[in-house]
Chains A and B, each alone.
Chain A
Amino acid sequence: MQTYRRGSSFTDRALFIAVALLAIIWIAPIIWVVGLSFKPNEVLMRTTGGIAAPPFTLKNYTDILASSSVFGWMLNSAIVAIGQTVLTLVIASLAGYGFARTNFLGRNALFVIVLAALAVPEQAIIVPLHTMFAMFDLHNTYVALIVPRVAFPFGVLLMTQYFRAISPEIEEAALLDRASRFKIFWRIVLPLSVPAQVTLGIYTFLHAWNDYFWPLVSATRPEMYTLTIGLASMQTNFAQTEGIGFLMAQAVFAGLPVLILYLFFQRYIVSAVAGGGSK
């Protein structure tokens, strides 16, 4: 075991069984979603039970793929999500380091502002924000879809907190060697923060990918729709009752890329312990 000493194998097994049972509760609705996505909508109008029994169909998926716009929407989503993620990681890491590790006049005051900004609900700013972007004629652009989300302080808070927990000795030594602050940040501190970067990255990506309300009012031309808005626009007015299979297929289709991303990156969260700051 990497991180702790394990107790008796009995405790281990009991723990594993408990977590596995919980996992079953967690995955049951997801299996249901996937199952329903392969069922004909007419059947689901009558009943949503019995997902294991035929008939099955691929029509819900082919209906999505038949849309001439769906790959354009996916591309938009990818651009927006990647743009937001990269920008957030860069800016939040810089700011987190600045707040956690450097001194400058007004630092504490600024950090209090950041903390307070964390408490601003989206509803309190969305109308003025929409008006501002309209004033500068920036709606229906990637800038409008990406930049406002970078202002959310969660990333800065997370990175600040993470950098604070890194032992200062390392940097202090480098400081005595007269290395520049940016160089210290870039070459010493940043590599130590991979787990936090990956965590923040995954969640920024996920939120950007699933974001709904802002893209709805900002990207109003179909060629600028994100996948979430585009897929929703395909739903008929009675989709919640007569298009359940189609809705579920949309969910699987839209959710799969993020899940794959998580599967790929999660090893950087946990296995990073091997290269952690404690060696």
Chain B
Amino acid sequence: MMLRRALLPLAVTALATLWTTPAAAQPKTEITFARFFGACESDYGSSQDLAHARGECGVMTTLVNLFNATNTDNIVVKPQIIEWGPYYQQLNARIAAHDIPTIAVMHTAQLGDYTRYVEELEPVFKEAGIDPADFTPNARAGVTVGGKIYAMPWDTHSWLWHFNVGLFKKAGLLDATGQPLVPKTVDEMLAQAKQMKEKTGKPYIIIATSGPGDFANSARGYYSWLYDQGGSIFPNGFEKADFKTPESLNSFRVFEALAKNDYITKGLDGSGGLGGFLNGVGAIYMTGTWRIDDFLAASAKPDSPLAEGYTTRVFPNLFKSQAVWTDNHSWVLPKGGTTPANRKAALIFLKFMWDHNFDWARGGGHLPARQSLMTEYAKLPLRQYVVDIPTFGRALPHDVRRQFGFQNMIGEEIANIINSGKTADQAADAAQERSVALLRGR
């Protein structure tokens, strides 16, 4: 009797292994995976070839394909892809309707708003085999709220100056080694801009300020220059913002000076800015780390206005000490999204992603979230110039809620400086007034 009871499961398992094909084996454990980054089945339909995956969408699709094909725990990851723009609106709606994904992507700038809806992950990391000691300082700060870790960091993305080296050469602004001279003060920058305009007739800086999402562009520049001065928009606690500190005013004034002298493009939207840089209408394009590979590819073509050279640098410090705006993509486990049955599967998938963090950095165009990958990362083209960002990159503290609201509002006011002649002081006043509504009921 005893023996039979002990043997029966064994026999059943053996039979099952013998008789059933892998596909029809025990029911698969399904985890849902809510993300943006798009879908690209035509190029990466069932590809598992990470070495050749390019772009956020390509890498993400390939990673899930690879996991679904190779995991030995019978797990199926079901992506739930949604457009970037309304992603958080949909996530909020899903939380409200208790229709919750197992794993979801999240910007760490948003994390402060969601701590009561996502699981604390530090205890989980141990179980999953993920070592938080390997987080870069920037990634760690991004996922930590009130001393607790709420997300698995996935990357750091930041704000750069992308250079048209040909125009810098024409303006006489290259150093002995043929690299662009990067200004170290506001005056140096304005002098360069003047020289650029005189020698080439082109604006020094290209920035997109007038399309959906383009307000973020100037806000990221504002934050970077504010942080360079050690400034903050919350010098006296998080109840009240202060946009009229000397540091904040300085940051607005840099844009004012650029706009007043027509050193910066006006009224361009995202495609106008990108097309403008690729067509050589200006010398420096203010945009993110994610564009490096696109511009390298463009500059490799002999007929490109970038053919004489393209390079990039961290958004330059014009004040005290180098700092720069950053944000991170991260993965969260929304509360109620896991069941006892698929919880382990979710952790196995997180670990898989963690082990492939470098593939994301290489193909997706972001900096890795793991310190141990940095040496390797610096060997990629031009990445030597950006590799240190995770040590000095900064973001708004998580105590500040509605960070996308702040980003949009600040960016809109700077767009007003650039496109419709507001002064820096007027913009600071307006931002001050508008911050009241954003802080209400926090």
Interface residues of A (CB under 8 A from B): 45-48, 59, 62-63, 65-68, 130-131, 133-134, 139-140, 213, 216-218, 220-222, 229, 232-242, 244
Contact of B83 among A47, A134, A217, A235 (CB under 8 A): A235
Residue of A nearest to B290 (CB): A238
Q: A48-B271, A216-B82, A220-B90 are in contact. List 18 more A-B contacts (CB 8 A).
A: A46-B279, A47-B279, A59-B42, A67-B39, A67-B41, A130-B96, A134-B96, A140-B99, A221-B99, A222-B80, A229-B82, A232-B83, A234-B39, A236-B38, A237-B37, A237-B84, A240-B212, A240-B270
Residues from chain A with Cβ under 8 Å of B80 in the complex: 220-222
Contact of B93 among A130, A229, A235 (CB under 8 A): A130
Report yes or no: A220 in contact with B94, Cβ–Cβ below 8 A.
yes
Main secondary structure of the interface of A (DSSP, over half): helix
Residues from chain A with Cβ under 8 Å of B81 in the complex: 222, 233-234
Q: Give the distance to chain B from A221, nearest Cβ to Cβ, in Å.
A: 7
Known: A233-B83, A237-B84. A134 touches B279 (CB 8 A): no
Q: What is the bound-complex CA distance between A62 and B97, given in angstroms? A: 36
Residues from chain A with Cβ under 8 Å of B41 in the complex: 66-68
Report yes or no: A134 in contact with B98, Cβ–Cβ below 8 A.
yes
A-B contact count (CB 8 A): 104
Q: Give the distance to chain A from B35, nearest Cβ to Cβ, in Å.
A: 10
Q: Give the distance to chain A from B352, nearest Cβ to Cβ, in Å.
A: 21
Contact of A130 among B43, B97, B278 (CB under 8 A): B97
Q: Mark B297-311, 1 if CB is under 8 A from A, else 0.
A: 010000000000000
User: Which residues 415-432 of B sit at the A interface, judged by CB distance below 8 A?
Assistant: none
Q: What is the bound-complex CA distance between A131 and B43, given in angstroms? A: 39
Residues from chain B with Cβ under 8 Å of A139 in the complex: 97, 99
Q: What is the bound-complex CA distance between A63 and B275, given in angstroms? A: 23
Residues from chain A with Cβ under 8 Å of B275 in the complex: 45-48
Residues from chain A with Cβ under 8 Å of B96 in the complex: 130-131, 134
Decide yes or no whether B294 CB sits under 8 A from chain A: yes
Q: Give the distance to chain B from A148, nearest Cβ to Cβ, in Å.
A: 14
Residue of B nearest to A243 (CB): B38
Decide yes or no whether B55 CB sits under 8 A from chain A: yes
Residues from chain A with Cβ under 8 Å of B40 in the complex: 63, 234, 236
Report yes or no: B83 in contact with A242, Cβ–Cβ below 8 A.
no
Residues from chain B with Cβ under 8 Å of A217 in the complex: 89-90, 93
Q: Give the distance to chain B from A164, nearest Cβ to Cβ, in Å.
A: 41
Residue of A nearest to B212 (CB): A240
Report yes or no: B97 in contact with A237, Cβ–Cβ below 8 A.
no
Q: Give the distance to chain A from B105, nearest Cβ to Cβ, in Å.
A: 11
Contact of A237 among B36, B86, B93, B273 (CB under 8 A): B36
Q: List 16 A-B contacts (CB under 8 A).
A: A45-B275, A45-B294, A46-B275, A48-B271, A63-B43, A67-B39, A216-B90, A220-B90, A229-B83, A233-B81, A234-B81, A236-B37, A236-B56, A238-B290, A240-B212, A241-B273
Report yes or no: B38 in contact with A239, Cβ–Cβ below 8 A.
yes
Q: Give the distance to chain B from A169, nearest Cβ to Cβ, in Å.
A: 53
Contact of B89 among A66, A133, A216, A221 (CB under 8 A): A216
Residues from chain A with Cβ under 8 Å of B298 in the complex: 46
Report yes or no: B45 in contact with A66, Cβ–Cβ below 8 A.
yes
Residue of A nearest to B279 (CB): A46
User: Which residues 55-106 of B sit at the A interface, judged by CB distance below 8 A?
Assistant: 55-57, 78-84, 86, 89-90, 93-94, 96-99
Residue of A nearest to B35 (CB): A233
Residues from chain A with Cβ under 8 Å of B97 in the complex: 130, 133-134, 139, 220
Residues from chain A with Cβ under 8 Å of B78 in the complex: 222
Decide yes or no whether B160 CB sits under 8 A from chain A: no
Residues from chain B with Cβ under 8 Å of A236 in the complex: 37-38, 40, 55-57
Q: Give the distance to chain B from A133, nearest Cβ to Cβ, in Å.
A: 8
Decide yes or no whether B274 CB sits under 8 A from chain A: yes
Decide yes or no whether B211 CB sits under 8 A from chain A: yes
Contact of A242 among B84, B213, B294 (CB under 8 A): B294
